[in-house]
Amino acid sequence: MKKLENLTMLYIDFDNDEREKYLKIFKNYFKKVLVTCEDGFKIYSQERPDIIIIELETPQSVKLVKKIREKDEKIGLMALTKNSNIELLREIVELSFSSYLIKPVSDGQIEDELKKVSKKIDSIGKITLPLFCQWDINSKTLFYKERVLFLTKRETKLFELLVERRGTFCTDAEILFAVWGDEFDKSITNSSIRTLIKNLRKKVPKGLIENQYGVGYKITA
């Protein structure tokens, strides 16, 4: 899970007193905290924060969130409100808020909810694989039990191909093209693939990559 201190947060609150109170709390967790009461969309567009925490007390605030969500399906959203409003909940249900907190909110509640939002953000763009592995399609990073497995450039290209084609075998020709591409020359042979596969298998859980003679390689089902 991404640590909160590596994330940027935009805090939008229209109550001056409340804003200062919660701002002090949020600054303990994030790398950068942006705060506003009027220029929410402008600051969002300029800074592209990871998480937005917004007070939902006015039609304008709901309209703002809808506008942001149209542009960004991944951003983490947390709502703060002074009272439980069923109509408001109905209006925002499709906006995928991770949390809906009613003020006053304790430090412990905030920390618990922030961790949930962070975990949700972290899961976006990750593909769950067998044997406790995950592949991050954005950073092209392989995780085993949430620990990064460091791959070489060519190992990364090979594993990316196997993930894209998971469930089906990748032939030697497909691997040669995907891994070596423009670098391909007569010195690159099927033996080069065998060596690459061997080295990759040393780094991943046993049984993750299977092969069938004369057919190719794939990630096990």
Whether this prediction's pTM lies above 0.85 is answered by no
Q: How confident is the model at residue 3, as a pLDDT?
A: 67
Determine the Cα–Cα distance for residues 161 and 179; give it in Å rounded to an integer: 9
102 and 81 Cβ atoms separated by less than 8 Å: yes
Low-confidence ranges of the chain (pLDDT < 50): 1
Q: How confident is the model at residue 201, as a pLDDT?
A: 97
Question: Looking at the chain, how many residues does it have?
Answer: 221
Q: Kindly give, in sequence order, each residue whose CB lies less than 8 Å from that of residue 213, ignoring residues fewer than 6 positions away.
A: none
Determine the Cα–Cα distance for residues 73 and 91; give it in Å rounded to an integer: 17
CB atoms within 10 A of CB 122: 18
Q: Kindly give, in sequence order, each residue whose CB lies less than 8 Å from that of residue 111, ignoring residues fewer than 6 positions away.
A: 29
Q: What domains sit in the chain, N to C, each tagged with a CATH number?
A: 4-123 (3.40.50.2300), 126-219 (1.10.10.10)
Q: How confident is the model at residue 211, as a pLDDT?
A: 94
pLDDT tens figures, 152-190? 999 999 999 999 988 899 999 899 989 988 776 667 888
